[in-house]
A and B are shown apart, each in its own frame.
Chain A
Amino acid sequence: MNWRIIGTLVAKDFSLFFRNKLFAALTAIAFIFYIVVYFVMPSTVNENLEIGLYSPVTLPVFTGMQEEGLEVETVASEEALKEGVIEGKYVAGVSLPADMMEKLASQQKPTVSLYFTPDVPQEMKDTVALIIRELAYLQTGQPLNIEVTEEILGPDMTGTPIPPRDRLRPLLAIMILMVEMMGLANLLSEELERGTVHALLVTPMSIKELFIAKGITGTGLAFGQSVLFMLLVGGFGGGPLIILIALLLGAVLVTGVAFLISSVSKDFMSVLAWSIPAFIILMVPSFSILFPGAITNWIKILPSYYLVDIVHRVANFGSGWGDVWLNLLILLGFCLVITWLGIFFLRRRVR
C-alpha cells in the first residue's frame, strides 16, 4: 500500500470537488440552510396538553373539559384516536369503554385505555392518568374506581420532551451526508466518463489504492461536514464518541452508495436521477423521528434507520453504549455490505 499515492489522489479529489462550482455551492448553501432551519425551529416544547378523547357514551364532564393548559378533542372512533396520537396531534389519547357508566354504577372497575406517543415523558403519562381519574370523580361524585391501561404506539422513549429543532437534527445530519454522496458520485462518474481514471491506472498506482483514496475522499467530505453541523447545533451532548462513530459509519455508508451510483451513471443527469431515489429512501427513517408513531418494522430494513436512531437516541435522550451497540453493529454490517457492493460494481466498470 503506497500512502504517498493515496495522499496525492485524495488531495487531488478534494481540490476537484471544490472546483466543481455546482457542488461547492450546493454544499455551502445546503450546509448554511440546514443550520438556519435548525435555529429557526422552536427550541421549546408546547406546554399545552392536547388530548384526544374517544367516548362512545355521553359523559359531559369528559367531553366538555377545557381548562387552561388542557385541550380535549373528541374523535369519532378508537382508530381515529390512535391515528391522531401517531401523527403527533395529541400528546395522549383517551379511550373510554362503552359500558363505563354501567360498571361504575355496579361498583365494577371500568378500563380506560390511554395511548401515548413513544417519547412522552413519564410525568406526562402520570398527569394524564390523574386527570382521567379526576374527571371520573367529577362525573360520578364517587371516589375513583377505574383501571387505567397505557399503550405506547411505537418504541417507548420516556424522558424529557424534545423540542422540534432537536427532532429535526438527525434529518438534517443525514441530508448533509446525502449531498456529499451526490458530490462524490458525480466526481467518480466524471473520472470514468472523461477517462482520467485510465490515465491514473497506467501509473504505478494500484486499483486498490484508487478505491482507498476515493473512499477517504467521500468519507472525509461527508464525515467532516456532518461533524461540523453537529458541533454547531450542539448535537454532541449525549455521547460524543457514539455520535462520532455513528456519523463516521454514516459517511462510509453514503460513500458506498456513491460508488454504486457512479457505477451505473454516465453524466451529471444520470447521477442526479440515481441519487434522488437513494436520497428519498435513505431519508425516510428521519421522518420517523419527526412523527414518532410512524415507526413500523419495515423501516428497519433501511440502513439509515440505524444511523438516525442512534443519533436521535444519543443526542436527544442521552442513551449510552448499552442502548445502541446493536444498532451500531447493524449499521457497520450495512456499511461493509454496501461498500463491498459499490467497489465490486465500480471496479467492473473501471475495468
Chain B
Amino acid sequence: MARDAIVAEELTYRYGELTAVDHISFNVAESEILGFLGPNGAGKTTTFKMLTGQLKPKGGQARLLGMDVMKNVEKVQGEIGVCFETTNLYEQMSALENLNLFARLFGMRSFDGNALLERVGLPGRGKDRVETYSKGMKQRLMVARAILNRPRVLFLDEPTAGLDPTSSETIRNIILEERERGATVFLTTHDMLEADKLSDRVAFMNQGEIVALDTPHQLKQQHGKRALKAKVAGDDGGLEDREITLDTPETPEAVRKLFSQEKVITIHSEEATLEDIFISLTGRGLV
C-alpha cells in the first residue's frame, strides 16, 4: 500500500474575519495525482500556499513526506516543485539562466538545462530571453522549472490555463511522466476535462470546505446520472430526441420499448461531467 505523500489535518486559514480554509482534511498517496477543483475564492490557492510552506496555517497541520511543513519548511521545499498560476520568471534572463539559477538554489551539481528544455518542447530556445517567449512557451518553462529538481511532490496551479492545445497537451504529458517517475502531483485546475483525464482522485472545494473527494468514476457513480440519448424518426419525417436514464429498475423495459416501438436513427450513452457533479453538490458553477 502506498504511503501518503501529503496529509492535511484540520487545515485552517483565516484572513481577518474571513475563513478561507475551514478545517479541511485529506491525504494524497505517493505517485497519485489529486485534482483540486473549485471556483475562484474557494480556498484552493490558500491551501496550495499552506501545503508549500508559503503560508502558516492558523489551525491544523500539513505534512509532506512525513514532515511537518512549517517545522521543516526548507527541507520540505527541497523535495517539492511548484508551478504557479501566474508567470513569475526572470524575463530579462534567458530560459537556461532561469533554470540554472533554480538548479543552483536546489544545490544541484550537475544539471542539463538543454535536455529539460527539449523535454518541455523548447529545444534550441534556451539562450533566448524569456521576455521574447509566447505565453505557452513561458508556461512550459514554468513547468520545466518546477520539475528540474526531480521533486517527490509536484504542485501545479492551473498549469494549462489559457494555453493553446499543443502547449496544454505537452504539459499534460509531462504531468503523467512525472507521476510515472514516482512523483505525487497536486493539481489545481478549473479544467474539468483535464482533471477527469489526469487525476486519480479529485477533491471539490467550495467556500473553504472540501465537499467531495473521490475518483472521478466514483463521483460520477454517486452523484451523476448516466443516460442513453437517441434520435428517432418522427411522424412528420423529422428527428425527435429520446432520453433513457440508466442504472434504474425501469431501464431495461424502457430500452426494449425504444427499439421495438421507434425507429432509432442514432443512439449514444452520456455520463455526467465533473462540472455537473460540482453544480449538483454546491449549487454553483466552477468559475
Contacts and interface: CB of A to CB of B under 8 A. Distances in A.
Given A195-B88, A204-B78, A205-B105, A15 B93 contact: yes
Interface stretch (A4-12, A95-103, A285-293, A312-320): A4-12
Given A8-B101, A16-B93, A204 B88 contact: no
A19 B88 CA distance: 18
A16 B105 contact: no
Interface string A1-39: 000110011001001100110000000000000000000
Contacts of A200: 105
A278 B81 CA distance: 40
Interface residues of A, number: 22
B77 interface: yes
A198 interface: yes
Contact of B77 (A4, A15, A204): A204
B78 to A, nearest CB: 4
Nearest to A195: B88
Interface residues of B, number: 27
B77 A16 contact: no
Given A16-B92, A195-B86, A199-B82, A204 B74 contact: yes
A198 B90 CA distance: 12
B92 A19 contact: yes
B52 interface: yes
A194 interface: yes
12 contacts: A5-B105, A8-B101, A20-B92, A196-B88, A199-B88, A202-B52, A202-B82, A204-B74, A204-B75, A204-B78, A204-B105, A205-B105
Given A195-B87, A200-B105, A204-B74, 11 more contacts: A8-B104, A12-B101, A19-B93, A20-B92, A194-B88, A194-B91, A198-B88, A199-B145, A201-B54, A204-B105, A206-B73
Q: Which 3 A-B pairs have the closest CB atoms?
A: A195-B88, A204-B78, A203-B105
Interface of A: 4-5, 8-9, 12, 15-16, 19-20, 194-196, 198-206, 351
